[in-house]
Structure 1
Amino acid sequence: MSDEDGYAGTATLVVDGMEMAVQVDLRGHFQPIDGYYHWYGRISASGELTAAVGGRKKACTVAVEDRSVDGELSDPDPWGRYRITGTSTPPFSVPTSLEEVEAATA
């Protein structure tokens, strides 16, 4: 069993007021040392995103379904995929009870 939660699929990304549909692969975990939930992942290569960000670190908002949270984009990898990170509530659903965890791993 993994200690990580996650989501892979379509999301809406807003950078500098510009909204775009992107494909994301996100993961996250609770860090007991600092008491926060940390989420992170990659956004599939997108010419629209590259034009908006230009390889720079940028604040953003990412939404998956009805969950919208602030995050930060960092420089792209060699394949043009931007890394995205955030702390606290993630843009994806996280199990909050043992029953939900067991159902998700069944």
Structure 2
Amino acid sequence: MTGIKWNLRLAAAQRDIWKASHLQRMLAERGLEISSGKMSNLWSGQPASIKLSDLAVICAVLNCTPSDLLVVEPDKLPQPIPHAPAKAVGQDSDVTPRPRSGRTLPPR
């Protein structure tokens, strides 16, 4: 659950690009050589990561912005973990100092 949806296929379809191989050729014309396996993952999957330079080329080819490709899904984002309220300075704390045993006192 990442909270971000990868929309490459939809963004490509809105520009009449229906096949991954077609987009792969267009990216290669802009200098971005992508293997068939990586292209398949970008086209059909949810990539775990993407280089910003690759994202920039994809956006240039599709004439879109990163927000067209990466859509935040707020309902799938992790919720904040509730924390105990902070104690004010001087209040009793849960930390109890422990005496150090086995040490001698410093010389006087």
Question: Do they fold alike, i.e. is TM over 0.5?
Answer: no
| Normalised TM-score (structure 1) | 0.24
- Structure richer in strand, relative to its length: 1
Greater share of residues in helix: 2
TM-score for both structures, normalised by structure 2: 0.23
